[in-house]
Amino acid sequence: MERMLGDNIHQLPADEVLELLDVNAEKGLDLLEVRARHERFGLNVIPATAGHGPFKRFLLQFHQPLVYILLAAAAITLVLHEWVDAGVIFGVVLVNAIIGFLQESKAARALEALAQTTHTEARVLRSGEIRTIPSDQLAPGDIVLLQSGDKVPADLRLIQSRDLQIDESALTGESVPVSKKIDQLAGRVALGDRKNLAFSSTLVTYGQGRGVVYGTGKETEIGRISNLISTADVLETPLTRRIAQFSHLLLIVILCLAALTVIIGLVRDQPPIDIFMSAVALAVAAIPEGLPAAVTIILAIGVSRMAQRRAIIRKLPAVETLGSTTTICSDKTGTLTVNQMTVRGCWAGGAAYEVTGTGYGADGQFTRPADGAAPEENPALREMLLVGLLCSDSSVYEEDGHPAIQGDPTEAALIVAARKAGFADADWQARRKRLDSIPFESQHQYMATLHDDRESGKRLLCVKGAMEVLLSRCRGALSSEGDVRPVDASAIQQHFDALASQGLRVLGFAYKEMPEGTKSIDHPDVQDLVFLGLQGMIDPPRPEAISAIAACQQAGVHVKMITGDHAATARAIAQQIGLQGLADDAGELKTLTANELAELSDKELIEAADRVAVFARVTPEQKLRLVRALQASDRVVAMTGDGVNDAPALKQADIGVAMGRGGTEVAKEAADMVLTDDNFATIEAAVEEGRGVFDNLTKFIVWTLPTNAGEGLVILAAVILGVVLPVYPVQILWINMTTAVFLGMMLAFEPKEPDIMTRPPRDPAEPLLTPTLIVRILIVASIMLAGAFGSFRWALDEGMSENAARTVAVNVFVFVELFYLYNCRSLTRSIFQIGPLTNHWVLVGSAAMVGMQMLFTYVPLLNRAFHSAPIGLDAWWRILLTGLGTYVVVEAEKGLRLWLKRDKPAGA
């Protein structure tokens, strides 16, 4: 029943809806019918889905190809009774799993939060009596009564409306409350324009009404969003995609090399224990054991840095994703704008004024026009501002150091405009005491109030409303000299159009003197008015968002506005903030609306999503479809939003960004990142931090992989030559884990390079390692192979024990890594260009690593555990020269590439 009506119910007359739902509007449902409908349709709740439990999430930490290889290696060493080796390998795997488990983002609770938003009470008509019941007990056909302050408990077709206004911003993105009516609507109508419907979880801000329930639980618009959230794909980040590809490639290489090792051993008729230990050593050598923990910790440090810049990361990989972002899809209201209606322009007494300041703060002033009276010298402006101040049911006050409002945002904007002109609301409300009022009604399109002016003793009628309605009721207009002149309708219309063309919502203002002793007013009194002027208001852009968008676009990041607000308003804001995109025939930013999007095929939408920058009146399904269309073009998409309607797209995006101050819990739970200041500029700062994190991750990977390649080559060379292993598996684990902690981790603290926000975004298809970096890795790995294997053979020739020779080889690996760390502080610049002391943690880590190697080499307990032995000074100078030589070679390679790039012809 309810779904049958749901999509077209706004097109049906109220009487027909009542008949289809089989309910009497004067009596409502009886209890037996309610029970029957509960059995058929269920309760008015949104079912929640549970994620993985803690134990399963912990087990999933082991579900990685490289971890399987390490576990297999540990199992083989156990079989071979190599207890220390097996224990160390198991320990490394367990530590990585624990770190991943502790840092992993908690399972998404968006559906649970969504269900919480619907837990309210409702006043219903049942068996002819008005009752208050929990909202989850509502059934299709229930008659619900609404009044100011109520949260709508289900989707309703309105059957009565008295000045009913509902704030639907969390659902549609509409920045002002929507005036509701009961008339049927013709044809296809966007969700935000269905004025004869009230939607679950929206808020009644004014008036009263009644409606019949046609949708409950998952069949409401909120329920449909819940379903969209559950069907949105949880995507891998660019980093996890690259690491997954790298892991699978490495898995194949390791298995092939291990198989080759076994085959060579069998051909040479080596003992099985030697064959398996060689294979285990090769597997352990080739796997970068420290990489998972290092990636997690570097990301966690990025989380801390972003928190200092007012961006809270809920899901760890989001840090790096920000650095890969190619497109930011931003909601308008509250993100690009301040979410506070503000008067930006006035016209009174023949003079036009601009009003500065943003939001509900009183900072700002009226600019004097070149050919008009100063604000303080214009009686028409003065009286217009006072009418806006007094003809109001709202208030603006201070809360927690920030301005807040009670009532309608439009009225709040008018109060603030009057304050900017020096009119204190409390003072003037006392000087012109309010006696009576006519509330705003959609059929009349105005509000009127009666006041007693205590200074003059006059009774004044103040009116605000639609300009065309007021003009038809005016006998004259107040001039800037203070006299009443004939109404110049064409001039007023011209200035109205000028304000409206800027995307402003324009209201007219008028007043008249009432007979002495008047105590009440009615609609017939709203005649023979004196027109005062016009005020245009808008939810203005954040000043800092303008510079942030410019920085993003300079960095090659496309910014798109996807909003539920009207097309004209969206276009005006987009042009003010400097969005770049496809222009229409008039040279203005092209704007696609919900109805236009609905007509596009998937192929056409992919093209439109890529080229167009502004999308208006967009439904939740269309937001989700737009994000998917951008991803189909291999865009890395960040989506911002604060409303319930944004949640599915937030979850689908590569990174969802929710507003912490003004956002709904649903949006926060669906997002990867929450902005504590609700400011687009914070996204730009987070993108900068994300790029810095990716830079440091890349530096770590380029630093660590030569060690794994070098270790693997040393083992492979020993197997091919048929000599004893220069390093054991347990020694390889010592090298990989200690250097990752004491050396590699120090790269996490590397400062951002100065050109970070002038580079274009990384190509999502670009591999983790570029050809340039692969060549560098091979150079360093070759040095490690020659240095470690050569030093091992030299030590044996000098009469050292095998353990002492292996200690020399281990130290060669470690000290090459130590010197190479300074190369990796910048992948393109010399350490002297970036500053040798700009990252003091590198110096601290280097000193700690030297200390660890002294313990490894000279402490008997570690000698027994890791098969090491003390070595003499003649070995140390060879070790240090190998490390220093590595640094010189890599710096020369960097310099050669810069020289070749400098001399390369432009465009070549």
Q: Any idea which residues carry the catalytic annotation?
A: 331
Q: Judge whether 639 and 621 are in contact, CB under 8 Å.
A: no
Enclosing H/E stretch for 450? strand 446-453
CA 487, CA 542: separation in Å to the nearest integer? 37
Nearest CA to 343 among 426, 423, 428, 409? 409
The tally of CA atoms less than 13 A away on the side-chain side of residue 634 is 7
Q: State the Cα–Cα distance between residues 708 and 704, nearest whole angstrom.
A: 7
Looking up tokens 């309708």 gives 489
DSSP bridge partners of 146: 209
Residue listed under structure tokens 């060579």:
264
Task: Return the bridge partners of 501, or none.
Answer: none
In this structure, which amino acid lies at residue 732? Answer: I
* Residues 180/184/190/191 CA torsion (nearest 10 deg): 50
Please spell the DSSP secondary structure of 758-786, one letter per residue: TSPPPPTTS-SS-HHHHHHHHHHHHHHHH
Distance from the Cα of residue 557 to its chain's centroid: 15
The C-alpha angle 688, 694, 699, rounded to 5 degrees, equals 130
CA distance 219 to 760: 44
Dihedral sign computed on CA atoms, order 254, 257, 261, 263: positive
- Contact between 702 and 760 under an 8 Å Cβ cutoff? The reply is no
- Determine the Cα–Cα distance for residues 274 and 370; give it in Å rounded to an integer: 94
| Alpha carbons 346 and 348: distance in angstroms, whole number | 7
The distance from CA 39 to its chain's CA centroid, rounded to whole angstroms, is 40
Q: What are phi and psi of 890, to 5 degrees?
A: -65, -40
Nearest to 816 by CA among 793, 798, 789, 841: 789
Reported as half-sphere exposure (CB side, CA atoms, 13 A), residue 578 has a value of 13
For residue 637, give the 3-state DSSP assignment: strand
**What is 94-108 written as a DSSP string?**
HHHHHHHHHHSPPPP
**Closest listed residue to residue 254, CA positions, set 63, 60, 61, 68:** 68
At 179, which amino acid appears? S
From the number of C-beta atoms within 10 Å of its C-beta (0-12, 13-18, 19+), residue 637 rates as buried
- Return d(Cα 97, Cα 63) in angstroms, integer: 10
Specify the DSSP element, H or E, that contains 66.
Answer: helix 65-79
H/E element, 77:
helix 65-79
Secondary structure (3-state) at 38: helix
- Give the list of residues 6+ apart from residue 771 with CB closer than 8 angstroms, or none: none
Contact 462, 446 (CB under 8 A): no
Q: For residue 58, what are its two tokens?
A: 């912990």
Task: Specify whether the CB–CB gap between 513 and 490 falls below 8 A.
Answer: no
DSSP 470-487: HHTTEEEEE-TTS-EE--
SS3 (DSSP) at 436? strand
State whether the Cα torsion 851-856-857-860 is positive or negative: positive
**Measured distance CA(296)–CA(745) in Å, rounded:** 11
Residue 115 CA, chain-centre distance (Å), reads 22
